Structure 1
Amino acid sequence: MEQENTQVQVIPADKAKIRKIWRVALILAVVTAVEFLIAFTVGAGAFRTWVFILLTIVKAFYIVAEFMHLGHEKKSLIWSILLPMMFVVFLIFILMYQGAALLEVLY
C-alpha cells in the first residue's frame, strides 16, 4: 500500500497580481463614489442620465476586462464580442425611440 503525501506546500502570493486587483477595486470604488455624489447633488435631467450611462460603461469595461480576463485577449476576440453587443444596444435604443414616437401618434 502506498502512503499518501499529506504535506501542503504554501506558494508565496504574487504581489503584482494583488496590487492590480486592489487598483481595479479602487477604480470601481471611485467611479461608484462619483455616481453616488452625482445622484445626491445633481437634479434630475439629461446631464445626470448621460453621466450615469457613461460611468456605467466605464465600470462595465473594467469588470469585463479584469474579472472576466477579456482585456488580455487578442483584439479580434474582443471585437467579436463587442461588435454584436453594440448592435444589440443600438437595436434596443432604436426600438425604445420608435416605440415612444408611436405612442405619441396613437395617443
Structure 2
Amino acid sequence: MAHTQNLAIFRGALKFKSNKEKIWGVLILLSIITAIEVVLGIYKPEILMGYIAGMKVLNWIFIILTIVKAYYIAWDFMHLRDEASGLRRAIVWTGIFLICYLSFILLTEGGYIESVYSSGYMTHDF
C-alpha cells in the first residue's frame, strides 16, 4: 500500500516538489528561528526587558520560539503530520504542557534562588 507524503509546510502555504526540498525548507525555517533567538540573546533589546506575568518578555519569546521549533521537528521530521489526529494531539499537547510546566517550575525556582542570593542567606524551618 503506497502512501504519499505531504510535501507542504505552514498548512500548505509553502509546497515542495521532493522530500529533499522539504527537508531543506524545514531546516531553513528552524535555522531562521534559531538565528532570531541568538540575535535576541546577544543584543537583549531594552524594549523586551519589561515584565509580563512575572517574567521578562524576552524569556517568553525564547520559550515560545523553542516550543515552535520542537513542534516543527516532531511534525515534519518525526512524521506526526501523517498520523491519526488523536495520536497527534496526544503527543503534541502533552509535550507542550510539559514544556510549559517545566519552564514554569524552572523560572519559579530560579527566581527564588536569585532572591536568596540578592537578599542574603535565608533559613527555613521545614
TM-score, length of structure 2 as denominator length: 0.57
1:67 aligns with 2:69: no
Q: How does 1:49-60 map to 2 (within 5 A)?
A: 49-60=59-70
SS in 2 for 1:106: coil
Residue 32 of structure 1: which of 21, 31, 34 is its match?
34
Higher share of residues assigned strand:
2
SS in 1 for 2:18: helix
In structure 1, distance between residues paired with 2:106 and 2:64? 21
In structure 2, distance between residues paired with 1:90 and 1:35? 18
Give 1:30 shift.
0.3
Aligned length: 91
Amino acid at match of 1:42: K
Q: Which has the larger radius of gyration?
A: 1
| Consecutive unaligned residues in structure 1, runs of 5 or more | 1-14
In structure 2, distance between residues paired with 1:27 and 1:95? 28
In structure 2, distance between residues paired with 1:58 and 1:65? 10
Higher share of residues assigned helix:
1
1:106 matched residue in structure 2? 124
Give 1:85 shift.
3.5
Greater shift after overlay, 18-27 or 86-95? Answer: 86-95
CA distance change for structure 1 residues 90 and 33 in 2, over 3 Å: closer, same or farther?
closer
Q: Which deviations, in whole Å up to 9, do the C-alpha atoms of 1:67-101 show, x marking residues without a partner?
A: 11112211101122234445544654369748x5x
1:76 aligns with 2:86: yes
Q: Report sequence identity in percent.
A: 34
Two-structure CA RMSD over aligned residues (Å): 3.1
1:23 matched residue in structure 2? 25
| Consecutive unaligned residues in structure 2, runs of 5 or more | 1-16, 50-55, 117-121
Give 1:32 shift.
0.6
